[in-house]
Structures are given as structure tokens and as C-alpha cells.
Chain A
Amino acid sequence: KQEVTQIPAALSVPEGENLVLNCSFTDSAIYNLQWFRQDPGKGLTSLLLIQSSQREQTSGRLNASLDKSSGRSTLYIAASQPGDSATYLCAVSRSGGGADGLTFGKGTHLIIQP
């Protein structure tokens, strides 16, 4: 059974810092990996999708990397802002396609101090 772990569970940093969120998964036979953001009381917003054949994806100040062989992904946030405060979730889909859903980590709760 696939297990996804996110470290740290919580993180509080001053505005302007660059930071890294970590995600690890136990079964490297994944199809893709997706990072989401969730604001309190809200739904999930997709940030980045990395196909299993890709090594990284970038969107603005966000960069996500994927190392399938070691079962790891990192989300890099550059020049953090208070608006980045949210819970960040990592999820993987099983090899063979997205038909049977995503397995999620429990998230990293991020607070950016003004």
C-alpha cells in the first residue's frame, strides 16, 4: 500500500525566506505527482503536476522536483510572502493511470510571518 509522508508537518518562517517542503512515497511505481494548496475551510488548488517521466516543474515562484527512484519530491517556494500561508499537500497516482485516485500526504501547514 502506497504511503505518502510530508515533512515538516508545520513550518513558520519570516517573509522573504526561500523554503523547501518535502514529500516522500513508499512505492516508486507512480504515474504522476501533484502538489496542492489548501486554505482554511477551502478546497484544494492545484499548484504543480509532475509526470513520472519529468524531473521538475516550475510555476512562478514555485518549483517542484521529482526523484522517482528515491521516492521523493520537493516543493521549493522562493521569496515567501504572507499570502503563501496555507497547507500544502502532496499526492501521487498509481502507475497505470489516474483511474483509481490519488494517495495524499497529511500536509505541511505553512505560516509566513509578515
Chain B
Amino acid sequence: DAGITQSPRHKVTETGTPVTLRCHQTENHRYMYWYRQDPGHGLRLIHYSYGVKDTDKGEVSDGYSVSRSKTEDFLLTLESATSSQTSVYFCAISGAENYGYTFGSGTRLTVV
């Protein structure tokens, strides 16, 4: 999607290993978000950021941490991957309270 990219697009990892997903934006938007999408649950918020070094937990934050050292980058880390974290992860950005949200293309993560 224009202005927002996620990497990697696909990843297979082993249980117990740390994994970091990256979201990069070129829109200079203040707000950034990480969601996961699972069948039967829809999209759920993991963590979000409202500025550099300002982050907060979402609905399903256990087992995840985030960092935002620059406006353009928002990293999601699975500290010790488990099979329950197999999912599709989406990053989103928003410019202000009355803006809509723009989503990245997603990262499909498989934990074996």
C-alpha cells in the first residue's frame, strides 16, 4: 500500500525463537498500530504508538513488545514465539484523530 510497507511478507519460525516484524511509513503520520487477524476473531489490536517512544497496549498484547525510535518505523517483537501467534499481522497508520486508517499488506507468520 502506498506510504506503508511491512517486512517480511512471509516468515516461518520455530517455537521459542524471537521474531521482529517491521512497519515503515513515508507519510509522517503520528499514529501507528499493529493488529493480528485470525479466523473467527477478526482483526484485534496488539499495540499502538502515538509518537516516537510513546506506545501503549491493545487488546491482545501478551507475548508482544513494540518499539518506535523514529516516526517512520514501528517494530513488533514476539519475545518467544508460540504456535498461538501464528497469524497474519497488519500494520496501520493514521495522521490525526479525524483521519482514516491506512493498512499495510500484512505479514503472514507461521510458528512451527
Contacts and interface: CB of A to CB of B under 8 A. Distances in A.
B61 to A, nearest CB: 12
Interface string A30-60: 0110101000001111100101000000000
A51 B103 CA distance: 19
Interface residues of B, number: 28
B56 A44 contact: no
Interface in A53-93: 89, 91
B100 A32 contact: yes
Contacts, number: 67
Contacts of B99: 98
Majority secondary structure, B binding face: strand
B6 to A, nearest CB: 9
Interface string B76-112: 0000000000000010101011111111111000000
B31 A98 contact: yes
Given A44-B90, A97-B98, A100-B48, 18 more contacts: A31-B98, A36-B103, A43-B105, A43-B106, A44-B103, A46-B100, A46-B101, A46-B103, A51-B98, A89-B42, A98-B96, A98-B97, A98-B98, A99-B97, A100-B45, A102-B45, A102-B101, A106-B42
